[in-house]
Chains A and B, each alone.
Chain A
Amino acid sequence: DTAVSQTPKYLVTQMGNDKSIKCEQNLGHDTMYWYKQDSKKFLKIMFSYNNKELIINETVPNRFSPKSPDKAHLNLHINSLELGDSAVYFCASSQDLIAGEIGGETQYFGPGTRLLVL
Chain B
Amino acid sequence: RKEVEQDPGPFNVPEGATVAFNCTYSNSASQSFFWYRQDCRKEPKLLMSVYSSGNEDGRFTAQLNRASQYISLLIRDSKLSDSATYLCVVNGANAGNMLTFGGGTRLMVKP
User: Is the pair A97, B95 in contact by a Cβ cutoff of 8 Å?
Assistant: yes
Interface size on B, residues (CB 8 A): 22
For A4, give the chain B residue with the smallest CB separation: B43
Known A45-B99, A96-B97, A97-B95; judge A102-B44 contact (CB<8 A): no
Inter-chain contacts of A31 with B (CB < 8 A): 97
Interface size on A, residues (CB 8 A): 26
User: Is the pair B43, A112 in contact by a Cβ cutoff of 8 Å?
Assistant: yes
Inter-chain contacts of B100 with A (CB < 8 A): 45
What are the interface flags for A77-114 relative to B under an 8 Å C-beta threshold, 1 for contact and 0 otherwise? Answer: 00000000000001000101111001101111111100
For A43, give the chain B residue with the smallest CB separation: B101
Inter-chain contacts of B98 with A (CB < 8 A): 45, 48, 56
Known A31-B97, A41-B104, A44-B101; judge A99-B85 contact (CB<8 A): no
User: Is the pair B42, A111 in contact by a Cβ cutoff of 8 Å?
Assistant: yes
Expressed in whole angstroms, the Cα–Cα distance for A102 and B32 within the complex equals 10
Q: Which 4 A-B pairs have the closest CB atoms?
A: A56-B96, A109-B43, A43-B101, A55-B96
Which of B's residues lie within 8 Å of A, judged by CB? Answer: 31-32, 34, 42-46, 49, 51, 85, 87, 91, 95-101, 103-104
Which of A's residues lie within 8 Å of B, judged by CB? Answer: 31, 40-45, 48, 55-56, 90, 94, 96-99, 102-103, 105-112
